[in-house]
Amino acid sequence: MDNQRLLVWAAFGVLIWLTYQTWMQDYGPAPVPVTQPADTDQASPTPAEEQLALPELGETAEQPDQTGTALPGGEPEDSESRAALITVRTDVLELQISTRGGTLVRATVLGYPVEKDRPNELVELLSPERSNLGLIRTGLRSANGASADQDTVFSSARSEYALGDAGELVVPLAWTDEGGVSIEKRFVFTRGRYAIRVEQTLVNNSAQPWRGDQYTQLLRRSKGVERSMFDVDSYSFDGPQTYNGDKAEKHKRDNLEDKGPLEYSSPDGWVAAIQHHFLSAIVPEAGAPHVYRVEVSGDTMIASVVGAKRTVEPGASETFTRQLFVGPKVQSQLGELHERLKLTVDYGWLTILSQPMFWLLAFIYDYVGNWGVSIIFVTVLIKLVFYKMTETSGRSMAKMRNLQPRIKALQERYKDDRQQLSQQMMDLYKREKVNPAAGCLPILIQMPFFLAFYWVLIESVEMRQAPFALWITDLSTRDPYFILPLIMGAAMLLQQKLNPAPADPVQARVMQIMPIMFTGFFAFFPSGLVLYWATNTVLSIAQQWKINRVVEQEEKNRKSGKKKKDKDKAK
C-alpha cells in the first residue's frame, strides 16, 4: 500500500498515453499526396480538371443516382477577358466575388492574424491560389432551359461594396439568357456575422417552363499534415466534415481516396471544410431534401450540395436560397445557423464535459473580460464542488503522514517477512481508520476536467491568441519563457512535501523527480492548461495544509484525552 501514489502517477501517465493514441487514431498523419506544381496568382479559379460530377437528382432528391452527372458548362475561350472581381468588405470579412459564375474566390477574416506578432497577416479561408485553394460556387442548372453555372459571366453595377455603418449589405449580380430567362444572384451580408445568404431569383420570360435545381460547391485544398508537439495546430483535424441529420463525421482524405466519393441524402444536413479554429460550410435550408457529395481529387477536396428540381412556369419567378458560413468557429453564430454546426468545434470524446465547461468559462468571461481570470474562477468552482470528496481523501493522507513513524517501525520489525508486514500494516490502517487508496481520488477527479480543459483551450477560437497577464499573451499556446510550468513544478514539489513519502527509498526518489518530469511535460502544453493545473495545485496545497493542521490538532487532543483517562484510572 505504500506505493499507492506511484501507481496513481503511473495511471496518470497511462491516461496521457491513451489520449495520445486516440489523437493518432483520429488525427494521425495521412499519406501525403503527390501535389501538382503551385499555380499561384491565377486569373481563373476554375481550371477544367476540377469540374465535379454532381449527383443526378430525382423528383424529390431522396434517392440520388450513384452514377452522377457532370456540371454544365465548359471552359469558354473568352470568359477570362469578360470576368471581373468584385471586392466586398464588411466589419468582419473582406471578400472577392468573381463575376464569372458569381464564385466566392477569396475570403479574409478580419481581426484574426495568422500569428499574433504579425497582425497584418490575416487568416485567409478562400483563395484562388493552389497552395491555399478555397472557392465556393453557386449556380442554377437546367436540362431544358438556361443554366447559370460556374462559367456564366454576370454583370455588376459596381466593383466595390462596403458595409459601412449599415446593418446589412446586399451585393447583386445579374444575367439574362437570350431565350428570356434572367437570373439575379444576391449575396447578403450582416454586421458582425460570418454567415452569408445567397439568393438566386430566376424570372422566366421565355415561352417554355424552366425546370432545374440549385447547386453549391465548396472546393478546398486537401493535404497531409505532419504532426509536431511544438505546433498545436497540427493536432486539429483539417478536412471535410459532414452532418447527415443524425451524426456528424470527419472524413480523412485517404479514406475518400480508397473508398471513393461519399454521397448521402438528408433533409437536415450540412457539409464543411474545417481546420483549426476556422471553417467554410454549406448549410441548406432545413426540411427540404438535398443530396450531398464529398470527394478528393488530387490535392483538392470538393463538397457539393444539390437541391430538388423545381419548375418555373412562363411569366413566373422563383427564388433559391442557400446559407454559407466562412469564418472562425464562434459557437454562438454556428448555433444560430444550425444547432449541430457547433459540432465542428471538435472537443473529442469529452464533449459532454467540455461543452458545459466552455459555457461556464464564457459566462464568467462576460463579467471579468479575461479568459485567464475565467480559467482561475472555474478552477476554484470545480475545487469547491468536489471539496468534501477531496477533504475525505486529504484526511486519509494526513493520517497516513502521521502514521509514517509507526509504519517505518513495522517495516524494520518485519523486514524479513513480507506477508506478516502486509498483515500488520492492514491492521494498523484498520485501527486508525485510514484508507491508503484514498490518495487516488483527487487525481481521478482531476483527470476528466484536465482533459476537458485541454480540448476547450485547443479548439475554442474564443481563446485563440487570448492574453492573460504579463508575459502570457496567448493562452492557447505554450508559455514562451516556460515560467508558468516552473511555477507549477514548484507547486507540485511543495504539494509532495505535504503528503506522506513512500517508505521505500527507490519509490521516494522516483516521486521526487515526478515534479521535474511533469514540468518538462507541461512545458509544451497550452499556457491556459498549465494555469488551470497550477491553480488547482495551489488550491490543493492550501486545502491539504489546512487538513494536516486539523488532523494534527485532533491527534493531540486524542492523546491528551487518553492521558487524562489514564490518570483518572490511576486515581
Write the DSSP string, 417-443: -HHHHHHHHHHHHHHHT--GGGGHHHH
What pLDDT, on the 0 to 100 scale, is given for residue 104?
Answer: 95
Most confident of 15-19, 348-352, 507-511, 540-544: 540-544
Residue 64 has pLDDT above 80, yes or no: no
Residue 211 or 512, more confident: 211
pTM score: 0.76
Residue 426 or 54, more confident: 426
What pLDDT, on the 0 to 100 scale, is given for residue 508?
Answer: 61
Between β-strands 85-89 and 160-162, what pairing exists: parallel, antiparallel or unpaired?
A: parallel
DSSP-assigned states of every residue in 530-566: HHHHHHHHHHHHHHHHHHHHHHHHHHHHHHHHHHHHH
Distance CA 546, CA 391 (A): 10
What pLDDT, on the 0 to 100 scale, is given for residue 61?
Answer: 36
Given pLDDT bands bounded at 50, 70 and 90, which one contains residue 493?
A: confident
What pLDDT, on the 0 to 100 scale, is given for residue 41?
Answer: 36
Distance CA 270, CA 159 (A): 31
Q: Identify whether the C-beta of residue 278 lies closer than 8 Å to the C-beta of residue 327.
A: yes
Q: Of the ranges 87-101, 278-292, 458-472, which one carries the lowest mean pLDDT score?
A: 458-472
Q: Of the ranges 82-86, 310-314, 388-392, 564-568, which one carries the lowest mean pLDDT score?
A: 564-568
What pLDDT, on the 0 to 100 scale, is given for residue 207?
Answer: 87
Q: Maximum distance among all alpha carbons in the chain?
A: 122
- With residue 174 as reference, give the H or E element that holds it: strand 168-176
What pLDDT, on the 0 to 100 scale, is given for residue 23?
Answer: 47
| Secondary structure of residue 405 in the 3-state scheme | helix
Question: H/E/C letters for each residue in 79-133?
Answer: HHHHCCEEEEECCCEEEEEECECCEEEEEEEEEEEEECCEEEEEEEEEECCHHHC
Given pLDDT bands bounded at 50, 70 and 90, which one contains residue 571?
A: low
Dump pLDDT digits (tens) for 165-191.
Answer: 999 999 999 999 888 899 999 999 999
Q: Of the ranges 200-209, 328-337, 494-503, which one carries the lowest mean pLDDT score?
A: 494-503
What pLDDT, on the 0 to 100 scale, is given for residue 230?
Answer: 56
Given pLDDT bands bounded at 50, 70 and 90, which one contains residue 364?
A: very high
Q: For residues 17-56, b (16+ Cβ closer than 10 Å) or e, as one string?
A: eebeeeeeeebeebeebeeeeeeeeeebbbeeebbbebbb
What pLDDT, on the 0 to 100 scale, is given for residue 245?
Answer: 85
What pLDDT, on the 0 to 100 scale, is given for residue 135?
Answer: 95
The upper half-sphere exposure of residue 93, i.e. CA atoms within 13 Å in the direction of its Cβ, equals: 26
Q: Which CATH number fits the domain 41-59+75-225+262-344, given the four candidates 2.70.98.90, 3.40.50.300, 3.50.50.60, 3.40.1190.20?
A: 2.70.98.90
- The CA-based dihedral angle spanning residues 99, 94, 39, 54, taken in that order and rounded to the nearest 10 degrees: -60
Q: Of the ranges 51-65, 483-497, 511-525, 533-547, which one carries the lowest mean pLDDT score?
A: 51-65
Given pLDDT bands bounded at 50, 70 and 90, which one contains residue 377?
A: very high
Q: Environment class of residue 194 by beta-carbon count within 10 Å: exposed (0-12), middle (13-18) or buried (19+)?
A: buried
**pLDDT mean across residues, the chain:** 77
In the beta sheet, which residues pair with residue 181?
A: 204
φ and ψ of 164, to 5 deg: 60, -130
Given pLDDT bands bounded at 50, 70 and 90, which one contains residue 463?
A: confident
All three cell numbers of 207, joined, read: 415561352
| Rg value, the chain, Cα | 31
Given pLDDT bands bounded at 50, 70 and 90, which one contains residue 305?
A: very high
What pLDDT, on the 0 to 100 scale, is given for residue 382?
Answer: 86
Distance CA 271, CA 292 (A): 8
Distance CA 108, CA 88 (A): 11
All three cell numbers of 327, joined, read: 469564418
How many C-beta atoms lie closer than 10 Å to residue 565's C-beta?
10
Given pLDDT bands bounded at 50, 70 and 90, which one contains residue 35?
A: very low
What pLDDT, on the 0 to 100 scale, is given for residue 107?
Answer: 95
Given pLDDT bands bounded at 50, 70 and 90, which one contains residue 462?
A: confident
Residue 199 has pLDDT above 70, yes or no: yes
All three cell numbers of 504, joined, read: 521505500
Residue 443 has pLDDT above 70, yes or no: no
Residue 69 has pLDDT above 60, yes or no: no
Residue 473 or 450, more confident: 473
What pLDDT, on the 0 to 100 scale, is given for residue 70?
Answer: 34
Averaged over 23-34, what is the pLDDT? 41
What pLDDT, on the 0 to 100 scale, is given for residue 60?
Answer: 32
Most confident of 35-49, 356-370, 400-414, 509-523: 356-370
What pLDDT, on the 0 to 100 scale, is given for residue 278?
Answer: 93
Dump pLDDT digits (tens) for 104-128.
Answer: 999 999 999 988 888 888 999 999 9
Which sequence spans correspond to the domains of the chain? 4-16+355-570, 41-59+75-225+262-344
